[in-house]
Every structure is written in structure tokens, then in C-alpha cells.
Structure 1
């Protein structure tokens, strides 16, 4: 029975792949949504060099790719693509360098060398959510001689990553020459250990990343939210920090790193016992950790809410 079910599933996948291959969109398409695709491989019209025909595609969304184990390598060649969303692709474990820079790839028995211009030249928004087995993102930082225009995703302004196993963000993303990236949202990255070297990010949200220990060298960071990340020990290199929000219903003491930063405003939501200690004022040693921040909102999460 199990063998028969597996054979039937594979046959159905082949049919789905053949159908989606024939359903090649018109070259003038601007918005494309793909939802519930059950094939193992994405169609060839998403690969190099076929994607060169879609010069008007601005928004691409792919939801529920249950069996695809890799992202297509041709998306980076879309000249007008501004927003890319990938939701729920649990079979993807690794994103290779060909995703953001397919310099030379075998196609049809030969080698196709792609253009020397930037990959994803106009991509402003990237969201990767529900790639729950995603562990590796291979993207090396370019050479010192590389110009901003030549690096991948030079126009990227906002990045959202939700629910994956990445332990770090790639060097090619955390690039000292990357000046457009303004907003970084990292949710449920269970293996993430550090966030550093993002010179242009002004807003950072990090949520439910229990292994995160260090946030550093974000020279233009103005707003940060650290929610349910109990093991952060270091927050440094954030001279422009203006607003800071921290929330954790299990927080029993104020983290020491709060004493090293000087935001204008702090919002702290913690355990009720810590809340009561903080509102007693100068007699509390915990209060001393936040006393240098003059504008504050302090609240607590009751045990019933946890």
C-alpha cells in the first residue's frame, strides 16, 4: 500500500510538473502568484536563461511549495522584479550561490554565462517564511573592488525571514557596501546566534530566537525590538539607537546590555515580579539598570497570558 501510494504520488507530481511547464505566463506579466504547487522541481521558465523573457515581472509570490527542494536560479535575472515572497517550502534545506548569482551554469549541454550586471537589480522586498528546514544560505561577500551596483540585491530595502534553521546571515547580505537595506525582521530563527555588520539598517525586529547571543555593529540602527530572545548578552555598536522594545514573560532580571546603550525611549514587558521591582524606583538594583533612560513604559505579562 505504501509503495503504491508513493508511485501514485510521483506520477501525480510528474503530471503537475508537465502542466505547469506548459502554463508558461506571457512575457508581459507583471504579477505572478503560484500557490499549492506539488511538483519537486519548479518549471524551466523560472531558470536561466528563460527568465530573460519576463522583463515586466514586478511581484512574484510562491506559496506552499511542499516538495520543491531548491529555489529557481533564474529569478535574479528578472530586471523589474521588486518583491519576492516564498512561503511554506519545507523541503528546502539549502540556498546556494546560484540563487543570487548564477554566473556560469550548464544549460542544454553547454555553459551559459549570465550578464555581469547586478543580480536582482531592483528587488526591494524579500520575504522567506516557513522554510522550516532551511539551514544554509551560501552567499559570499564580494571583493573589495566590487561596486555597489555589481553586488546582488543592491536595492534591497526590507528583508523578512520567518521560521527556519539558519544559524547566521550570509556575508554577502551583511555587506559593508550595502546601503539600501533599512528594515530587518527575523522571527523564529531557532539556531540564530548573532546579527552583525549591517551598516544601513535602521529598524530591527528579532522574535523568538532563543540561541541569539550578540547584536553588534549596526551603526545607523534607530529602532530595535527584542522579543523572547532570553540569551542575548551583547548589544553594541548601535550609537544611533533611539527606541528600544523588549518583551519576555519569563524575564526575571534586566539584561546587563541595557546598561551599555542610550536610547531615548524604552518599552519593557517582563515577568510580574520584575515589574514590581522596577516600579519601586531607586531602591531597586534592577531599576539602576534602566535609570539612565528617561522615557520608559514598563508592563508585565501575567502567568495566565503566557
Structure 2
């Protein structure tokens, strides 16, 4: 239990500790306080997802209740910390899957735990002194300044009361180093270390619940690992030298999570691990005494399942015996075969996939039908011509909870499944590389009254032969679609249905679309990005477009009816003069002069809140003759622009015809804590 008594009060609060955070902490229930303080021990340099955090809480005994519901209880605690703004969600994720803790909040938590926890971060110079003078219950080492081997395993051995040890740096180890002195450990997390010498003593950690060895050099686990009867979480991600797991691993009856390297093979008898909740990179194997899909049948508590090398499954009956459809708690399912595609998205030159193999893999995937509880599906490397039957219209109805689906490397698939449009809660849909899909027909949308009613984001990428998309104006679909990305295809036109029905569409991203020559009448689009659209000639009638990025579109001639445009980014490094379509758009070469004027200039409010600003303008062969450099933290602004420069002289008009100016700024924004980009580029 963390120290949380009255020894420390507001009257003794150091000035660097935030009083508001103190009040938030005081009004927190005790069960949440210990979870909050423990979160502050996690290294800042690494992202930790919600389930990893909850697993550590469980290992420390912070969660109490029915064993089958502990993960859900932990997620509720995590969400409560979010609601109290003590941790902050990463905006790159739709759900609060990855979060961070503000430095002010973290400093408070570190102060509260200073008598029992040591967090060695960048800037610490006395870690060895602290380790030798004080006993801790929890230790986190993440300081880059210690990577030279300054901390060795011997320097940690005095900390025999440790319950948690987290290290993300290289710790110097030598033969004979052991874990035997850390008999109280509940949580052990080591990354990027030579831990071979420690492996033999793992079984001595009788109380260990959480073991994470990431990107280490181990090639074997001890044969007696089965003696670790309390072990619940075993993460071996990135330990690529580890090929086979010992047979005794099937004796870990309390195991709830197993994260494997992609090349590891599991021994037979795996069916005994009935407490398993999360199983990642389970490799399908059919020969010898190794575990097969059949042994998944008894794992009825699974929530997360990732299957790998499914091309090894020789008979559909083996897949059927896994009985995925009966796993009523399963919410995330990943099904992978080895990819048959090259880097360019086409089938490997020497890769010939016989029709017999294609039919076999279709039958295998047909038997891997998920339960109605499923929320998230990823399929990768699938080489059947037809997607599984449970994705077709007649059988998709039960999957009403599905919100996320992604296909990667569909080597032979000829069409997208017709049944997806029926899903009432699907919010995210992505296809990444499907070289045989040439047409997305009417069936993709016409199997439901309102196709894709809640779809928010759609990404169609690497469909290198795709030429036609049928979506007529009368087909009302995708009313909530906000983001659409099309990349690496031969699409000739954006269907009229996008303009008339996707009325919530705000962001449109086009890249390497080969035959598209016009874009018009998209009334809701606010941000448009076009990268390498070689045949694009005309962009018209985008009344709400505010930000436009054009990169390498050499045939573009017409840019009109975009009255709301606020920002234009034009990137073309071979361009010698402004294109005709910019005749009515005045390039802001004088921008650098305004930036250099600082607070007295008109652009100050636009860039002063940004962390870093770098702006340049060229002259002939000198691409950075004039510059403005600004750093928000110290308020320092540097520039070589003065009243005598060409930017303020009478020759400015002539210079505008042959100069290029660019201003690029990026960094954290204002109180919204969102990443902002202030970028203006004009090629002349």
C-alpha cells in the first residue's frame, strides 16, 4: 500500500507542488489514490495502454472483487482518472487507449511516493547514492544518462524489498547475476537488456504476477517456469531469439495474458490455461507435438486473440474445433497469414498461389467466425479469392457490436464484402493493399436501408488496380463519414454519392491516385490534401474548403470557387513560376518580414503560441538566404531581415516572380493541449 497518511499536509507542501492537484488528490477515494500514484511510476518515454496499466494494478493487489471481473474494474478506475483529468488521453486514438500524465501532476505524485518509490529520470545524478542509502518498494529506471553501464545489477541488489522493478535502459549484467534476492517482486518489467544470466533464477520469484521482457536477448525460458504458480501476465514481445516455449508453461494455471514473439511455438497441453484473457501471436502449427488451434476450444474467457501463420492450418476442421463463435467474451480478433505481397503491393514475382490453396484458406477462415460480442477485427495476409462467408450480407447481422475492421494484404481478393454496410455500429473501415480489386460496385452499399450508418473514417489504400467506384446519388449512405483517404489506385472519378450523401465529410486525403483529373462539388469538405495526383486538372466548387495542400500535381490548371480558403500549401520543387490558377491568390512573400517584426507585426498572434518556428526564403541557389527563427520558451526571435533587405525594397515585385518562401512552424498549442501545425508554403 502506498504511503498515504497525514505526515504530509498542505502546510508543508513545497512551492513547486501544485495546490490544485493536492486538492484533487485529497478528495479521491483511497482505492483510486494508489492506482493514481502507481501510474506516475510508468516511464514517460514509453506509451502504456490501458490494459497494461490495469495488469500492473492487479499484480500489486490494488483491485479487489470477482476474479473474472478484475480487468473491467481496473478499466473503470482508469476511466475515473481520466474523468478527473489526472491522466490525459492521447488524441491520436479514438478511444482512451493510450494516455499520459502531465508533468505537474506527475511531480506531485512523485513527491507523495518519495519514501517508497524511486524514479530515475533524465537529469538525475545521484541515483547510485539513493540506491545505497534508502530501501524502496518500487523502482523505475529510464534515464538516458545512465545507459553507459553506470547502473549495474549489483547496485540494485540492496533493494531486497522491491515489489515493482521497471527498467527501460541497459543495465550492466554479468554471469552469476540472479533474481533470488528480489523474492518480494510482484511486477518485473525489463526492456533492451542482456538478461540471459537472470533467466535461470526466474522460478525463485514465487510472488511474481507480472513479467515483461521486451526486446531482450533470451533464447530460452527455464524449464521450471511452471513453478511460478501466481504468474498472471507474461509478455515476451520482441524477444525474437526465443523460438520454443518450455513444456511446463502449460502449468501456469493463473495466466491471464500471454504476448509472444512472432516466431515462438507453444507446446501441447495449452488447453489447461483456462484463465487466459489475452493471447497474442499464437502461431498455428500442425506438425509434431506442438499446440494446434484445437486447444483453443477450452479457453472460454478470451477477450483478445491474435492468430498467426494460419496458412499452416491444413484442414478446416481444426479451425472449427477452436470454436471461436462460442467465446462469448471475445471482443478483439486478429487473423494473420504470411503476406504474399511485395513492397509495391503486387503479388511476389515468384509467388504462385494454386487455386487449391486459395480454396483451403477460404474454408479455414469460414470456420473462424467470431461471436456476436466482437468489437474489433483485423485480417492480414489472407489469400483467398472471396472473403469469409460470415462477412457476407446474410450472416453479418449478428455482429452488431463491431466498430472497427481492417484488412491488410489481401493478395487474391476480388471484391470487398457486401455485408459490412449493414453493421449498425461500424465506425472505422480500412483496406491496405488489395491488388486484385478493380471495382467497388453497388453491392458494397446496397445491402442495407442506410449503408454504413455510423462509419466515421474510411481508408482505401494500396488497391493498385482499382479504377471504378459505383455510388450513385440516390443511394443514401455514410451520413457520418468525416474522414476519407484514398491512396495508390487508378480511380478515375470520385462518385457523386460522396458529394450528395457523405454530408459530414470534413477531411479528404488523396495520394498517388493515377487517373483522377477533376474534383468538384464537395460542399462539406474543409481540408483537402492532394499528393502526387499526376492527371489532376481542375478543382472547383468547394464552398467550405479552408485548408488546401497541393504536392506534385503538374497538370492542375483550374482552382476556383473556393471562397472560404484560408491556407494554401503548394509544394513543387521543380516549379519555376507560379501556375495560372494562382493568379487571384496573392503569394505572401512578405510573411517573413511580418514574422521578423515580432510583437509589432501582423502575424505575431498566429505563431507566438507555437513552440518552434523556422521560416526561410531563398535567393537563386541559396534556399535559406533569409530566415526567421523563434522559440516560445525563451521568447527568442532571430532574423537576418531588416529594412534594407529585398523584402522591403522596391525590387520586391520582381523578386516575387522568381523567389520561393516557406514558413513552417510546429509544436504544442494553447490550453487545448493539441498538436497544432501552422504551415504556409508558396512556390514562386
TM-score, normalization: structure 1? Answer: 0.80
Greater relative contact order: 1 or 2 (C-alpha under 8 angstroms, separation 6 or more)?
1
User: Separation in 2 of the partners of 1:170 and 1:14?
Assistant: 33
User: Separation in 1 of the partners of 2:523 and 2:412?
Assistant: 37
Larger radius of gyration: 2
Q: CA deviation at 1:57?
A: 0.2
User: Separation in 2 of the partners of 1:242 and 1:122?
Assistant: 30
Q: Which position in structure 1 is the counterpart of 2:446? A: 101
Q: CA deviation at 1:100?
A: 1.6
User: Separation in 2 of the partners of 1:252 and 1:80?
Assistant: 50
User: Separation in 2 of the partners of 1:71 and 1:269?
Assistant: 48
2:526 to 199, 202, 206: 202
Contact between 1:133 and 1:164, CA under 8 Å: does it hold in 2?
Answer: yes
Q: Which position in structure 2 is the counterpart of 1:250? A: 574
Unaligned runs of 5+ in 2: 1-350, 592-614, 626-645, 662-678
Unaligned runs of 5+ in 1: 103-113, 143-149, 301-306
1:79 aligns with 2:424: yes
Structure with a larger share of its residues in helix: 2
Question: Using a 3 Å threshold, how does the CA distance of structure 1 residues 35 and 262 change in structure 2: closer, same or farther?
Answer: same
Counterpart mapping for 1:1-306 below 5 A: 9-102=354-447, 114=448, 116=449, 118-142=450-474, 151-175=476-500, 178-261=502-585, 281-284=652-655, 286=657, 297=681
User: Separation in 2 of the partners of 1:168 and 1:270?
Assistant: 38
Q: CA deviation at 1:287?
A: 6.5
Question: Using a 3 Å threshold, how does the CA distance of structure 1 residues 271 and 263 change in structure 2: closer, same or farther?
Answer: closer
Q: CA deviation at 1:260?
A: 2.4
Structure with a larger share of its residues in strand: 1
Partner-residue secondary structure (3-state), 1:224:
strand
Partner-residue secondary structure (3-state), 1:260:
coil
RMSD: 3.1
User: How many residues are aligned here?
Assistant: 269
Write the deviation string for residues 176-227 of structure 1: whole angstroms up to 9, x where unpaired.
Answer: x542000000000111101111101000000101110001111000000000
Q: CA deviation at 1:172?
A: 0.8
Question: Using a 3 Å threshold, how does the CA distance of structure 1 residues 270 and 202 change in structure 2: closer, same or farther?
Answer: farther
User: Separation in 1 of the partners of 2:617 and 2:533?
Assistant: 17
TM-score, normalization: structure 2? Answer: 0.37
Write the deviation string for residues 240-286 of structure 1: whole angstroms up to 9, x where unpaired.
Answer: 0000001111111111111224698999999967979x976212472
Write the deviation string for residues 126-164 of structure 1: whole angstroms up to 9, x where unpaired.
Answer: 00000000000111111xxxxxxx711010000000000
Question: Using a 3 Å threshold, how does the CA distance of structure 1 residues 263 and 86 change in structure 2: closer, same or farther?
Answer: farther
Partner-residue secondary structure (3-state), 1:246:
strand
Contact between 1:235 and 1:261, CA under 8 Å: does it hold in 2?
Answer: no
Contact between 2:578 and 2:683, CA under 8 Å: does it hold in 1?
Answer: no
Contact between 2:575 and 2:683, CA under 8 Å: does it hold in 1?
Answer: no
Contact between 1:204 and 1:225, CA under 8 Å: does it hold in 2?
Answer: yes
Question: Using a 3 Å threshold, how does the CA distance of structure 1 residues 230 and 268 change in structure 2: closer, same or farther?
Answer: farther
